[in-house]
Amino acid sequence: MNFGTLFRTKSVELIQRDAAMGFSDSEGGGHKLKRTLGVLDLTSMGIAAVIGAGIFSTIGNAAFNGGPAVAFLFIFTAIACAFAAFCYAEFASMIPVAGSAYTYAYASFGELVAWIIGWDLLMEYAIGNIAVAISWSDYFTTLLAGYNIHIPEFLTMDFLSASRGFDKVSALLADGNTLEQVREMAGMGGAVDGYLAWTKAPLLGGFHLVCDLPALGIVLLITTLVFVGIQESKRASNVMVAIKLCIIFLVIVLGAYYVQPANWSPFAPNGAAGVLKGVSAVFFAYIGFDAISTTAEECKNPQRDLPRGMLYSLIICTVLYVLIALVLTGMVNYQKLAVGDPLAFVFGPEGVNLPWVAGIVAISAVIAMATVLLVFQLGQPRIWMAMSRDGLLPKIFAAIHPRFKTPWFSTLVTGLVVAIPSLFMNLTEVTDLTSIGTLFAFVLVCGGVLILDNSKQKIERKFRTPYINSKYIVPSLFILIWMIFLVFKRDLLLSFFSGSDLSDPTIHGWEVVKHRIPMYGYIICSFVLAIFCFLRNLSLIPVLGLLTCGYLMTELGWTNWTRFLIWLVAGLILYFIYGYRHSRLAKSS
Q: What is the pLDDT of residue 581?
A: 84
- The amino acid sitting at 338 is A
Q: How many CB atoms lie within 10 A of CB 266?
A: 11
In sequence order, what are the residues at sequence separation of 6 or more whose Cβ sits closer than 8 angstroms to the Cβ of residue 61? 278, 281, 337, 338, 428
Q: For residue 576, give the 3-state DSSP assignment.
A: helix
Residue pair 77/301 in contact (Cβ under 8 Å)? The answer is: no
Handedness of CA 420, 422, 423, 424 (dihedral sign): positive
Judge whether residue 187 has pLDDT over 70.
no
Mean pLDDT of the chain: 80
Percent of the chain clearing pLDDT 70 (strictly above): 85
Write phi, then psi, for 539 (nearest 5 degrees): -70, 135
Q: Tell me the pLDDT tens digit for each residue of 302-356.
A: 878 888 888 888 888 888 888 988 988 888 888 888 776 787 778 877 777 787 7
Angle between helix 490-498 and helix 473-488 axes, rounded to 10 deg:
100
Residue 541 Cα distances to 105, 110, 432, 467, 519, angstroms? 18, 23, 26, 7, 22
Q: Tell me the pLDDT tens digit for each residue of 474-506.
A: 999 999 988 887 777 667 666 666 666 655 555
Average pLDDT over residues 186-199: 78
Residue pair 136/427 in contact (Cβ under 8 Å)? The answer is: no
Residue pair 226/233 in contact (Cβ under 8 Å)? The answer is: yes
Q: What is the pLDDT of residue 470?
A: 93
Q: What is the pLDDT of residue 541?
A: 93
Judge whether residue 27 has pLDDT over 50.
no
Residues linked to residue 37 through DSSP beta bridges, in sequence order: 299
In sequence order, what are the residues at sequence separation of 6 or more whose Cβ sits closer than 8 angstroms to the Cβ of residue 340? 57, 60, 134, 135, 138, 139, 190, 427
C-alpha 135, offset from chain centre: 14
Q: What is the pLDDT of residue 528?
A: 94
Judge whether residue 232 has pLDDT over 90.
no
Cα 68 to Cα 275: distance, rounded to the nearest angstrom = 9
Q: What is the pLDDT of residue 54?
A: 61
Selected residue with higher pLDDT from 430 and 143: 143
In sequence order, what are the residues at sequence separation of 6 or more whose Cβ sits closer than 8 angstroms to the Cβ of residue 524? none
- The amino acid sitting at 268 is A
C-alpha 526, offset from chain centre: 24
Residues linked to residue 204 through DSSP beta bridges, in sequence order: 207
Q: What is the pLDDT of residue 543?
A: 94
Average pLDDT over residues 548-571: 84
Selected residue with higher pLDDT from 189 and 440: 440
Average pLDDT over residues 279-293: 70
Residues linked to residue 207 through DSSP beta bridges, in sequence order: 204
- The amino acid sitting at 486 is L
**Residue 508, H or E segment:** none
**Residue 567, H or E segment:** helix 557-574
The DSSP secondary structure of 173-194, one letter per residue, reads HHTT--HHHHHHSTT-HHHHHH
Q: Tell me the pLDDT tens digit for each residue of 117-129.
A: 888 888 778 877 8
Selected residue with higher pLDDT from 564 and 557: 564
The DSSP secondary structure of 221-242, one letter per residue, reads HHHHHHHH-HHHHHHHHHHHHH
Q: Identify the CA nearest to 172 among candidates 160, 188, 193.
A: 188
Alpha-helix runs per DSSP H in 95-188: 101-108, 111-146, 159-174, 179-184
Residue 75 Cα distances to 82, 159, 436, angstroms? 10, 35, 19
Cα 565 to Cα 69: distance, rounded to the nearest angstrom = 32
**Residue 470, H or E segment:** none
Cα 560 to Cα 317: distance, rounded to the nearest angstrom = 26
C-alpha 77, offset from chain centre: 12
Q: How far apart are the first and last CA of the chain?
A: 14
Most confident segment among 382-386, 511-515, 522-526: 522-526
